[in-house]
Structures are given as structure tokens and as C-alpha cells.
Structure 1
Amino acid sequence: MRFGTFFFFQAAPGLSHEEVVHRELEQMEWTEELGFDQIWLTEHHFIDYGLAVDPAILATAAASRTQRVRIGLAAAILPFHHPLRLAEQLALVDVVSRGRLDIGVGRGNRPAEFKGYHVPQQENRARFDEAVDIMLRAWTADRFSY
């Protein structure tokens, strides 16, 4: 059995967004020091716990502050990303972290997030399926077109 912690980067009363982000990053270091096996990150936009807006940047920050714990995304919301760009970013995070990245992807389910990005929510499955296909090809094929 492995144990991990989940980081929401939730806005907190009395703290600036900068303070919340730095406190969460510091807690990631403590997670490793306390012997946990994993750090899990989320992605949200336009809501109270929407400070975790870029999974690749947060995973890179976690990698730079830790040496051993695995870093998981739960999840990168694919309809909000260009799939090839996200595939490149996550491949680089995996290199920076020395192979410690675990990638979870999702379709998203919060209407405010879709509205904020002007993405029709009813397209989320098709966009998700297309993004998964493109990302897997980017990571496994020498060359591909789509």
C-alpha cells in the first residue's frame, strides 16, 4: 500500500493567493520528509479552489522541491488544453522529475470552468477522446499527423 496527499491550492480567508501557493509547495516538501509516497495535484479554474490552474507548472515546482515522491495529476482537464502542447509539457515534467510523473486526465464537469474558457460542455467527451489519441501518439510515435 502506498500513501499520498492531495493538494487543492484552495483560496483561504486571510491569505493572499501567493501565500496559499507557497504554503502548498512547502507542504509538498513536508509530505516527502514524513515518508509519504505520492503528491497529487488537481486542476481547476474560476472557482474557490481554482489556484491550481496549470498542472505542468505545479508538477515542475513539486519536482524541484522533492527528490523521491511520485507526482500525480488528478487530473489535467483535457478540453481546456491543446493536446500536443500538453503532451510536450508533461514529457518535459517527466524528464525534470526524473521519471516521477503519473498522469491522470479528465473531461471536466464544472459549468463555470467551461463557460470561462468558452468551451461548450457538451463537447467535452469528443475533445477528451481526441486529446488522448493525440497525446498517446505524441509520446509513442516517431512521427505522426492528425
Structure 2
Amino acid sequence: MSAVRDESFAIIEEPDLAIAHYVGHVTGDDVRRLTAIRRRFSDGKPYVFLIIDLHRMVHLSSEARRVASETSGTPDDDVTIHGVAIVGARYQFRVLGSMLFRAIQLLRRTTGFPVRFLDTHTEARAWFEERRRELGLRRPGAVGPLDP
């Protein structure tokens, strides 16, 4: 029997994917912790893709929203983020997330990274493959050129 996590956590998939799972009542500390994990993973990489999984999020505190807006797209983020897929977001979180990412782009004066709201990880991974093709990036684990 597998244990179900009751706190937010991150999963790293080399070479270029970080997945943040936000669970329950998300606090500023949750956002700081998962941002720190993503930054350690990103260190020295030319780019990354991010999945933010909200399937099990119940509430996003105002502190968590503030921390997210303060820590996204800052000079500490030297890595290029080629895509952020937000999966499993209920309608109110999609609206809130859209406003949050728009505010980040306005505050940082950047068009930043593309963000999509999707229903599943499978859709997110398919979009990332599409992005890799558009950008001429190798697929993870590929040793030769991209397939046509």
C-alpha cells in the first residue's frame, strides 16, 4: 500500500523537468520550499520545463500568492523556463493563476515563459515535446538530432 502525501512536494525528472505538487492549504513556506528545490535543480542548466500540479490543492494563502509573485522571474532565475504547465486547476485557481502570472509578467516587464492550463500530465508532456520541436531542442535521452 502506498502512502498518500499530505504536504506539497516536488519531483525532479532529469534532464529538464521539475514537477511541483501543491497539496492542501498551500502556504508561503510551501512555495518557498518548492521554489528552492526547482532552483537547485535548474542551477547550471540551459533551460527547464515546469509542471505545477494543483489536483490536490484546496487553498492558496495570500502569503503564498505574494511569495510566488516575488520569487518567479527574479534575477535568481538565471535559467530559461521554456514552459509552465499548470495541471488539475479548478476554475477559481485558473482565474487566480492567470492573474498571478500576468502580474509577474507586468512586474518583471517580461513576456517571460509560456504558461498553459491543462488537465493532465500527459497533456503537459505532449506540449513540452511540441515546445522542444519548436525550439530545436533535443528530447530527453535523445542522442541524435530531433526527428522531423
Higher strand share: 2
Instruction: Give the structure-1-normalised TM-score.
Output: 0.44
Higher helix share: 1
Instruction: Give the structure-2-normalised TM-score.
Output: 0.43
